[in-house]
Each structure stands twice: as structure tokens, then as C-alpha cells.
Structure 1
Amino acid sequence: MNSLRLLLENCPIWVEIQNKSRDHATIVVAPPLAGSVDPVYYCLDLALTDKGGVSVREEPAHRRFPEFCMERHINPGGTFCLEYGSEDSLGDADAANRLWSSLETFLHNQEYAAKRREWPLAAGLSHGEAALEQLAMEELAKPLGWTEELLGGMFRGRGWLAQNLPRVTKKLDRVVNARTPCPRGCNWKHKSRRKNSCELDSCETGCRKQHKPILRANCPNRWIVEEIVLREHRRRAIEAALVADLREKKIQCCGTMKNCSLR
């Protein structure tokens, strides 16, 4: 059974199939929207991909979204980037259900982006292979509770990850000069307040001591900090190359989002 047939045989109740063939289908979907009384309908085209999976795009005659927007995860040509590898072959019904769930979330995020002109922070995903670097960074950050600050740095331009990063080798395989302050901005606290972990908490009320910055060499999470820095350098390089390629092809920003690298 090919991926398109598998997908159509496992569609949720908010999907109406209008036409279908072996490698193409047209559907109308109206996923439930939180806080909305009236459903929103989307007319979509599904097609088998060269990878054996299914691509999704809007029908041109019933378009609600831009034809292309990298910040809204709409590829050149109009196909949706639902998640990393979303056009890969579907192996079973569980994979088909996950794709439907990803499509539902994607459509909700599009409505969010249309109103606020930015993608939901928790759903932020870097483009192309840069997504792999981001996912690896999130795995490192999650046990330490740093996920939100990483996403804020990558997609909102705030915090230490959005600033000038520590220098790395040309091969992007090592962070140099460990005697510089930890990029997270941690400072030594009074001995009674020190923890065996990175901390950004302020000191006691009224404290006027100038706490010295913790050097990266002394950081209890030095390996994790340096690995995140290396991967962020790589993520930025991949994204910059993608933007340069789009500019070379004269592909323009749609103007619907606050921050876009193509502007």
C-alpha cells in the first residue's frame, strides 16, 4: 500500500476526500480550532513524492496562505513543511496518524501566524538540515530546563544564544579559549548560595557585591554549553546558506511575518 492510500484510509473526521487517484488527491479539511465557533476550511492537494511519502499544499484557487514563506514553513512551490522528513514514506497507520496530527498543528500555527505575524515559539523549527542541529540542541538543553531560552534565542532574537557566540575553529568542531566567561552569563554567588549547576538567579536583596563571571573552564555544564554553541554555529551557517540560495533564485519575502531573513 502506498503512502497516499495509507494516509487516506486513516483520515480523521475533519477531513473530506473530494477526488483521489493512485498518486494524487484533493481534500477539504476543517480541523477544530480552540475558541472558534465557526470552522475554517482549507482546500488541499496531496501528492506522492519521489521519496515515497506525501506532499501537502493548498489548491491555488482557494489559497489562504502565501505561496511561499520560509518563516511560515511553506516551501518554494507551495508544499508544507509539516515536520522534519514529513515527505518521507509512511510505514504504517501510526505514521499516517502522526502526519494528520502534524497537519492539524500546522494549520493552527498558520492561523496564529496570520494574526500575530510570528510563528508560535514552541513550534519553532529551523529550516532544512538546520533542524537536526536544533533538535540535538534541545535534547541537550531539556534536562537542564534551558529549552525555552534556546528557542527564544533562535526564533525571537533574545538571550545569550542570539548574541555573539564564543569563537570556534574553522571546522566548527571545537570552542576555543575556555578562559572566557560562560556565554550564559552565570556569576559566582556567595558560597552559601552556590549550586552544582549553572544558575542565573540574582543574589540576595540589597547585595552590592560585584560577582565575578564564571569562566567556561569552570562551568559545571561546560561540555553541554560548548556543544550547544558548536551546533548553533552550524545551524546559523546552514540557515544562511539556504537564505543565500533563495536570494540567488530571486525568491522574495511575502511580507506577512515580522522577522524574515529574506527581507
Structure 2
Amino acid sequence: MADFGALEIRRGFEELQISLPVPHSDGRKPVYGLTISFAGASASARETTPSLLPAFCPERHINRDGSFCLYWRYVDDIVIDGPEAARAWWETLLRFLQLQTRAARRRHWPDGFGRAHGAAAATHQLRAELAAERLGDRFSAYLADRRLTVLVKGDGPEGPAVRVLQDGRRLYAVWMRKRRVVNLRRPCLCPAGARRRPTVLRACGDHADAAATLALELHGVVEEEKLFWKAASGTPCCGTMDGCPLAATSTLVPQTGAAA
């Protein structure tokens, strides 16, 4: 468990200003000057004067106002209603800051898939995760490891279709207009297990619906993230993350002390 005994705190009416040492496995303990803001049973954090972290970086989960995106409030919120919840919040903050150091060194976010950018995109992502769970652990792992992508193709009588690719290889396709898998007679996507013959998709429980939902919600993530990055276009880029879409449309603002 984390030891928060070294905290230096100055109290305000709705805010705390703190100096928080963040321990790392190599023995370093960078000290972050943070402002913690409260609203009811929720709290948020930001670097009081950005020095160790960028002022804004979607890829590092730092919002436009400098606040940290510690979790998605609508799904995994931490309601601070007692000592245990308060400790969970502080430990989440500590873990976030430790990941920031790794992100600065690796130039990409190190902790799995993370949440898609923007509230609408995150909603699509959650639905995709739930659909993947219905298809089995393999699909959940593909999704978490970013091995699933989508591609919209065609414009015939049935309209366009969303193709789901795993590592660039086509798995199946879904009609966007009808919201169903193109070939329902194909073997189901779930593991066959001990069955001698794989069950066709249309006859394998709710897997046809799960496959269609997964494809359409992944497409929703892609479209919403496009809108997010379009809205952010022109905002200064910190230049600390490889492949950040902001870098192509923005002025580079070098970060001299970004928690490396």
C-alpha cells in the first residue's frame, strides 16, 4: 500500500494544494506540486504549475484545463464517501503519476488500451468491450491489445459494411444499415471448445448480435475520435508522445521536464 505520510498540504475552501512525492522502482521520488479540487463526493487533480507534466496532452490523459483523466466517471467513478474510498482515490492518482513517468520515457501510454478520447467515444468503447466479453476472453484480449480495427467498405444495395480486422486480417463484416453480420451461416467466432463441429453464428446464442455490436461500436469509436482530434486541431502539442494526431496539425511546444 502507498504511504501518503509525506504529503505537504495547504488547505483552501474547495481545494488542496499539495506536494506529493511519487516513488518509482529505481528509487527516484519526483515531487509533484498539485491542486486537488472537490465537488461533492468527487475530486480532481492537476499540476498547479505545469512543470513535470505537459499542460495538455490527450495521449497522456491530461485535459485542456490541466486536470488529470484518472478514470471515466460514468463507469468507474470513485465516490469519496469514506476512508477506504479516499485511499483508493489517492492510490489511483499515485498510479497515474507513476505511469506518466513511463509514458515520457516510452513515448506511448503504457497501461493497456485506456479510454477513448471524448465522452461519446468512451461510451462506444464500453459497449464494444461488453460485446467482446460476450464473444469470449480471446476477443476481450484482442480489444485490450488494440489488435482489432475496422474498415468501412462498399456502397451497394445493402449499403456500406464495417469490416472487423484482427492484426490486419479480416474476421467478418457487418451491414451498417441492417446492423447484422453479413454472413450469418459462417462458423461462430467464439472458441469451438469440445464441440466436434463449430456452431454457425446465427445459431450460437447471442453471438451474432454481439459480433454486430462489436463492429458498429468500434466504428463509433473511430468516428468520435476523428471529431475529437478535429476539435483539438491547432492546439499546441507537447511533442512527448509518438504518433499523436495533434502533432500533425499543431505547433510544437517542447516540454523540458516532462517526468522523464
TM-score by length of 1: 0.69
C-alpha contact (below 8 Å) 2:113/2:146 kept by paired residues:
no
What is residue 22 of structure 1 aligned with on the other side?
Answer: 13
Task: Select which of 116, 125, 131 maps to 1:134.
Answer: 125
What is residue 96 of structure 2 aligned with on the other side?
Answer: 106
Measured at CA, do residues 65 and 87 of structure 1 come closer, stay the same or move farther in structure 2, by a change above 3 Å? Answer: farther
Deviation at 1:72, TM superposition (A): 0.4
Question: 1:46-91 CA distances to partner (integer Å, 9 max, x unpaired)?
Answer: 1234x7632211121x611111110100001211000001888633
What is residue 179 of structure 2 aligned with on the other side?
Answer: 174
2:124, 2:38 → 1: CA distance? 28
Measured at CA, do residues 183 and 99 of structure 1 come closer, stay the same or move farther in structure 2, by a change above 3 Å? Answer: farther
What is residue 213 of structure 2 aligned with on the other side?
Answer: 227
RMSD: 3.7
1:119, 1:183 → 2: CA distance? 34
What is residue 125 of structure 1 aligned with on the other side?
Answer: 115
What is residue 91 of structure 1 aligned with on the other side?
Answer: 81
Which residue identity is paired with 2:179?
R
What is residue 53 of structure 2 aligned with on the other side?
Answer: 65
Which residue identity is paired with 2:173?
P
Q: Structure 1: where are the runs of 5+ without partners?
A: 1-10, 198-214
What is residue 253 of structure 1 aligned with on the other side?
Answer: 237
Measured at CA, do residues 70 and 154 of structure 1 come closer, stay the same or move farther in structure 2, by a change above 3 Å? Answer: farther
C-alpha contact (below 8 Å) 1:82/1:106 kept by paired residues:
yes
Task: Select which of 22, 26, 29 maps to 1:39.
Answer: 29
Q: Runs in 1 of length 4+ with deviation above 4 angstroms?
A: 86-89, 154-157, 161-165, 179-184, 192-197, 215-220
Which residue identity is paired with 1:243?
W
C-alpha contact (below 8 Å) 2:185/2:201 kept by paired residues:
yes
Deviation at 1:101, TM superposition (A): 1.9
What is residue 165 of structure 2 aligned with on the other side?
Answer: 160
TM-score by length of 2: 0.69
2:99, 2:202 → 1: CA distance? 41
What is residue 210 of structure 1 aligned with on the other side?
Answer: none
Task: Select which of 60, 72, 75 maps to 2:63.
Answer: 75
2:89, 2:197 → 1: CA distance? 43
Deviation at 1:181, TM superposition (A): 6.8
Which residue identity is paired with 2:146?
G
